[in-house]
Every structure is written in structure tokens, then in C-alpha cells.
Amino acid sequence: MTAGDTPAVRRRVWLLWWVAGLAYAVDLGSKVAVVARLEGRAAVPVLGSWMELRVQRNPGAALGIGHATTFVFTLIAVAVAVAVVRVSRRLTSTPWAVSLGLLLGGALGNLTDRVFRSPGGMQGAVVDFISVRDFSVMNLADWAITCGSVLAVLLAFRGRELGSAGPAALSETP
């Protein structure tokens, strides 16, 4: 039996997949709902004028950066998904499972838009709809990526290991 076959590792990997699946499903469901009900309509206030629901198609990255390089962001999302799956084989930490699950679910949510939304061909525009005044228009995949990233930074600063192989597991090849 290898370290990757222990029950503790399998439990954490299932947690990672569960969190990723939940983040992905909530993101996809929210995008389907807002496109069907809000696209082409006036913004809907949530917290006065500070936060509102407003559908916007974003071919770029956060804050509208890089709208001409959509294909690059698609490749980054694929790379993140592959990296998370590779790292998950050594995962024994519950907090890391949650962090990586959020990153994977968010990456897959935006990747789905890049692949299947117009104009297609891995250059689709992401559906953003949570507008925060004087900041950005985002979606729930973006929130999952942000929360997963913040948690990963906190875990790394606290020296929390990903798994039994420790931080070196990130750089090992199978």
C-alpha cells in the first residue's frame, strides 16, 4: 500500500472533489439563472447601489484585464485544474482539501464558460454578474478561486503541510 492509498488520503480527496463539485454546481447554476432572467435587463440592487446583480460578459481576467488574451486564461484554468488533480494524490489535510476544492471548482466554472460560451473555441466570455461598486463585476467561480487562494496562502504561512510528504509533494513527479 502506498501513501496515496491510505484511507485518510482517500477521505481528503473525496472532500476535495465534493467541495469542487459544489463550487462548480453553484457557479454553473447561478450563471444559467442570471443569463436566463437578468441578461439584457436593468441591474438589480442587492445592497443599495454598493452591490447589484448586473450581467456582463468578460473575455479577460479579473477586473477586465487582458480581454485580448482569452486563450491564455483558458490555458491557465486548465493548468490549475491539472495541478490540483496531481497534488490531490498526496493530500491528507482537510483545510488543504477545502482550499484546493474551491480552486478546482472555480477554475472549472470559468473554464466551462471559456469553452462553451460565445465565441467558443476556448475563447468564450465568462459570465460575471455580482457588481461591487468601484471595484469589479464577478461571478461565484471568482469568489471560490479567491477564497481558495486566501486559504492556501494562510495555510502556507502557517506551515500547514498538504500531506504526509509535506510541501515537497508539490514539486515531486510521480
Q: Which residues are catalytic?
A: 128, 142
Which H/E stretch holds residue 55?
Answer: strand 51-58
Instruction: Show the cell assigned to 2.
Output: 502506498
Over the range 104-125, which residues count as b (16 or more CB within 10 Å of their CB) and which as e?
bbbbbbbbbbbeebeeeebbbb
Instruction: Show the cell assigned to 163.
Output: 500531506
Strand arrangement, sheet containing 136-138: 44-47, 51-58, 126-132, 136-138
